[in-house]
């Protein structure tokens, strides 16, 4: 996991995105690596200009839950890593799909905050092909940490620099972070983001991912997940 934040990000496009949880401002942006990421926000500054030079400014009113003046409390933010298998295909090997859904729901219910969806993070940054190879190793008995190492990959290759740079560019310097991952907290703080509060994400245990969630708790230090007689809760 790396912590270096690009100096700036480039805003590429903006539109409203209706979801089952509400209508979000969707801002596509890229960092120095030219990977396109997405910010889904409600009542948070948008900042910057689009490619045609038009200002993005503040979020518009009247179309989302919780519209009104921006307050001074740190917004709820989820920095979420792309996971094709968990989000689009409904894989039960991980809890990425339910976590993304929960984050969007919590932001909508709160009426202010954002989900920063970082692309290029497939398989904790090792890519889709290596991720599928890691799955095959897990079928042979390795856990998610051991599988990455067996492939010659780090346990976590992700960089949160683009998220930190986007937050800085829109003037958000303090957040309440939705995560169970202490390494993510440390990486964002190292990149200059003030994490005022850490809010745990609910787990979504099923038989296919209980070993994965247990490894995240026992070997990767994730918090907010509890092991009990009936599995994770």
Q: From the candidates 25, 64, 95, 156, which is the catalytic residue? A: 156
Q: Answer yes or no: is 179 a known binding residue.
A: yes
Q: Answer yes or no: is 81 a known binding residue.
A: yes
Q: Answer yes or no: is 119 a known binding residue.
A: no
Q: Answer yes or no: is 123 a known binding residue.
A: yes
34 is catalytic: no
Q: Write the CA distances from 129 to 31, 84, 104, 125, 156, integer angstroms.
A: 24, 12, 28, 11, 15
Q: Answer yes or no: is 115 a known binding residue.
A: no
The span from the CA of 231 to the CA of 206, in Å, is: 9
List own/partner pairs for 184-188 with CB under 8 A and 24 or more apart.
Answer: 184/1, 184/79, 184/160, 186/3, 187/1, 187/2, 187/3, 187/159, 187/160, 188/79, 188/160, 188/163, 188/164
Angle formed at CA 72 by CA 70 and CA 78, multiple of 5 degrees: 80
Q: Answer yes or no: is 96 a known binding residue.
A: yes
Q: Answer yes or no: is 79 a known binding residue.
A: yes
Q: Answer yes or no: is 94 a known binding residue.
A: yes
Q: From the candidates 158, 173, 223, 229, which is the catalytic residue? A: 158
Q: Answer yes or no: is 99 a known binding residue.
A: yes
Q: Answer yes or no: is 120 a known binding residue.
A: no
20 is catalytic: no
The span from the CA of 33 to the CA of 162, in Å, is: 9
Count of alpha carbons within 13 angstroms of residue 116, beta-carbon side: 29
**Positions marked active-site:** 156, 158
**Binding site: residue ranges?**
78-83, 94, 96, 99, 122-124, 144, 179, 184
Binding residues for Zn(2+): 83, 94, 96
Task: Name the binding residues for GTP.
Answer: 78-82, 99, 122-124, 144, 179, 184
């Amino acid at each position: 996991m790396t912590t270096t934040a690009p100096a700036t990000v480039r805003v590429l496009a903006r539109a409203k995105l209706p979801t089952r949880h509400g209508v979000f401002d969707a801002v596509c942006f890229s960092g120095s690596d030219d990977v396109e990421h997405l910010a889904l926000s409600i009542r948070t500054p948008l900042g910057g200009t689009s490619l045609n030079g038009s200002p993005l400014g503040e979020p518009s009113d009247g179309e989302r839950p919780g519209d009104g003046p921006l307050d001074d409390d740190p917004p709820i933010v989820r920095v979420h890593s792309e996971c094709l298998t968990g989000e689009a295909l409904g894989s039960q090997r991980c809890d990425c799909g339910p976590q993304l859904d929960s984050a969007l729901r919590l932001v909508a219910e709160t009426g202010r905050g954002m989900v920063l969806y970082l692309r290029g993070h497939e398989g904790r940054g090792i890519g889709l092909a290596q991720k599928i190879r890691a799955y095959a190793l897990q079928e042979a008995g390795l856990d998610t940490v051991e599988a990455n190492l067996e492939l010659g990959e780090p346990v976590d290759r992700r960089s949160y620099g683009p998220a930190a740079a986007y937050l800085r560019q829109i003037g958000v310097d303090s957040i309440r972070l939705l995560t169970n991952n202490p390494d993510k907290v440390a990486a964002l703080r190292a990149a200059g983001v003030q994490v005022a509060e850490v809010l745990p994400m609910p787990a979504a245990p099923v038989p296919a991912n209980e070993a994965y969630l247990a490894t995240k708790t026992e070997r990767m230090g994730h918090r907010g997940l509890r092991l009990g007689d009936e599995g994770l809760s």
